[in-house]
C-alpha cells in the first residue's frame, strides 16, 4: 500500500493535471469505475491503477484488472484524497495511454454524420458534446484549433466516459475542410447570417455539422465554404444557446430526418 503523499507515482498524478505534461508523457488521468471501465472497453491501454479499499471493495474487479496493467496499487485514504479530482469519489483512479488519432484514422460509414467543433474552450462543454455524439452514434467528432484538451479530467467527467467511445480527432480548420471536401461530405455551419432554420436543412446526405463558440461563433473560413448555413431561431431575449445544447438540437433533427 502507498501511504506517502510524496511517493513519485502520486506526485506524477498531480503533474498530469497540466495539458503540457499529459502531452509530454502521453498519459492522462481517469477517475471513477464507469469511466475507467469504458476506457478499457474502448481499447485504451491501462498503464497504472490506484484504488482505495475503504471506498472501492470490488475485489473481483480489481483482480481482473491486474492482468491488464503492470501496476495496480492500493493507496491509503489520505493519499487517495490527495489524488482524487472529485469530492465524492468511488476510490478508483487510473492512468491511460493517449490515443492520438488523425483524420486518416476516421472510419466513415456509407452516409457519415460528423460533428466539427471550432475553438471550443470549456472542457465541460466539450465533454457534454461528446456525450451527445455517443447517443447519436456519430462517425466522429473533430475538434478544430482546440483551446482545451480532450483528455482534460473535466472533459472526461462531463462526457461520462463517452470521450472513449466516440472517435475524436484534433486538427486545424484548413486541413479539416480539405478532408471533408475530399470525402464529399456536405458542410452545414451554424451562423447568424445568410442562414435558414435548421429544420429546413437537408441532413440526409453525408454531413458535417460545424459548431462554433458562444462568444464568437464560427470563423469566416467555415461560413464561406459551407454548403448551407443554419440557425436555431431564438424566441426570447437570449441570442444564443450553450454549444452542447445547440449541437444536441441540430444533431437529433438530423437523426429524425435520416430515420
| Same domain? 79 vs 155 | no
Domain boundary among 51, 79, 97: 97
| Same domain? 88 vs 171 | no
| Same domain? 228 vs 128 | yes
Q: Per the structure, how many domains does the chain have?
A: 2
Q: Is residue 3 included in any domain, yes or no? A: no
Instruction: Please tell me the predicted confidence (pLDDT) of residue 246.
Output: 94
Q: Is residue 46 included in any domain, yes or no? A: yes
Tell whether the torsion through CA atoms of 247, 85, 92 and 54 is positive or negative.
Answer: negative
| Same domain? 184 vs 72 | no
CATH number of the domain that residue 68 is part of = 3.30.1330.30
Domain boundary among 57, 78, 97: 97
The tens place of each residue's pLDDT in the chain, 259 residues long, gives 999 999 999 999 999 999 999 999 999 999 999 999 999 999 999 999 999 999 998 888 888 888 887 799 999 999 999 999 888 889 999 999 999 889 999 999 999 999 999 988 899 999 999 999 999 999 999 999 888 889 999 999 999 999 999 999 999 999 999 999 999 999 999 987 878 999 999 999 999 999 987 667 788 899 999 999 999 998 999 878 889 999 999 999 999 999 9
CB 152 within 8 A of CB 178: no
Q: Residues 27, 107, 180, 219: what is their CA dihedral angle, to the nearest 10 degrees?
A: -30
Residue 252 three-state SS: helix
| Same domain? 221 vs 113 | yes
Host domain of residue 64: 8-97
pTM above 0.85, yes or no: yes
Residue 35 three-state SS: helix
| Pairing verdict, β 92-97 and 46-51 | antiparallel
CATH number of the domain that residue 202 is part of = 3.40.1280.10
Amino acid at each position: 500500500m502507498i501511504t506517502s503523499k510524496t511517493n513519485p507515482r502520486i506526485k506524477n498524478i498531480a503533474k498530469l493535471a497540466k495539458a503540457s505534461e499529459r502531452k509530454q508523457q502521453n498519459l492522462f488521468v481517469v477517475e471513477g469505475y464507469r469511466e475507467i471501465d469504458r476506457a478499457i472497453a474502448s481499447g485504451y491501454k491501462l498503464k497504472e491503477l490506484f484504488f482505495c479499499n475503504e471506498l472501492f471493495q470490488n475485489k473481483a474487479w480489481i483482480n481482473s484488472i491486474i492482468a491488464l496493467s503492470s501496476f495496480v496499487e492500493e493507496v491509503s485514504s489520505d493519499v487517495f484524497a490527495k489524488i482524487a479530482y472529485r469530492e465524492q469519489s468511488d476510490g478508483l483512479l487510473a492512468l491511460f495511454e493517449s490515443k492520438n488519432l488523425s483524420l486518416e484514422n476516421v472510419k466513415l460509414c456509407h452516409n457519415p454524420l460528423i460533428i466539427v467543433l471550432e475553438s471550443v474552450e470549456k472542457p465541460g462543454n466539450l465533454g457534454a458534446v461528446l456525450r451527445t455524439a455517443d447517443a447519436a452514434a456519430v462517425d466522429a467528432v473533430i475538434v478544430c484549433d482546440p483551446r482545451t484538451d480532450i483528455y482534460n479530467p473535466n472533459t472526461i467527467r462531463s462526457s461520462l466516459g463517452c470521450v472513449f467511445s466516440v472517435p475524436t480527432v484534433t486538427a486545424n480548420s484548413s486541413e479539416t475542410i480539405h478532408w471533408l471536401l475530399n470525402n464529399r461530405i456536405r458542410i452545414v455551419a451554424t451562423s447568424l447570417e445568410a442562414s435558414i432554420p435548421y429544420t429546413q436543412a437537408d441532413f440526409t446526405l453525408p454531413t458535417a455539422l460545424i459548431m462554433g463558440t458562444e462568444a464568437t461563433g464560427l470563423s469566416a473560413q467555415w461560413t464561406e465554404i459551407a454548403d448551407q448555413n443554419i440557425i436555431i431561431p431564438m424566441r426570447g431575449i437570449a441570442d444564443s444557446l450553450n454549444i452542447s445544447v445547440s449541437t444536441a438540437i441540430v444533431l437529433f433533427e438530423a437523426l429524425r430526418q435520416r430515420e
